[in-house]
Amino acid sequence: MRMNITFKQYAPADLYIGVGEPETLEADSEQDDVTGFRPIGGPFLNAFVNNLHYLGIHSADFHAKKLGISSDDLCLTVQTLTGMSYIEFTAQYILLMATDLLKNRQHTELKAVAKRLGFASYSGFYRFMLRNGKGKPSWM
């Protein structure tokens, strides 16, 4: 007997907490320790998003090694839990972070934002933003 099990798939916007959030007292009380993302209760996705949030955009091999699994397992699990490929999910999450950091000017220069997001150089960040339709990085 085959069972169809349905579960919620998480988009980056479901998980990311912006610099200005939480905006209400209710939301604030729900977040005992602000991690930068909303833990969903699933240990795998929580660990992966934590690494993505704090280490930035890197290859699947890099993040898989941090989790102690193969990159194939990482990509398959991200696809299953999010409905998005590893590349799609990480790009969208990093775009959310980039937009947030550029709006809130947490860093004094754009190179610092690029480094915070895991880019080896500002030019890589610049190309990433152009490729993803966000235009040239600038303070918003």
Q: 53 CB contacts (<8 Å, ≥6 apart)?
A: 16, 35, 36, 37, 93, 97
In a domain, 133, yes or no: no
Is the pLDDT at 22 greater than 60? The verdict is no
59-104 confidence digits (pLDDT tens): 999 999 999 999 999 999 999 999 999 999 999 999 999 998 888 8
Q: 39 CB contacts (<8 Å, ≥6 apart)?
A: 46
Please tell me the total count of domains within the chain. 1
Strand partners, 37: 16
Determine the pLDDT at residue 5.
55
* Average of per-residue pLDDT values in the chain: 83
Closest to 11 measured CA to CA, from 85, 61, 64: 85
In a domain, 39, yes or no: yes
pTM of the model: 0.81
In a domain, 71, yes or no: yes
At 48, which amino acid appears? F
Determine the pLDDT at residue 119.
96
In a domain, 121, yes or no: no
In a domain, 42, yes or no: yes
In a domain, 97, yes or no: yes
Is the pLDDT at 30 greater than 70? The verdict is no
In a domain, 136, yes or no: no
Q: Peptide bond before 22: cis, by omega within 30 degrees of 0?
A: yes
Tell me the pLDDT band of 4, cut-offs 50, 70 and 90. low
Q: Which domain holds residue 57?
A: 12-107
In a domain, 25, yes or no: yes
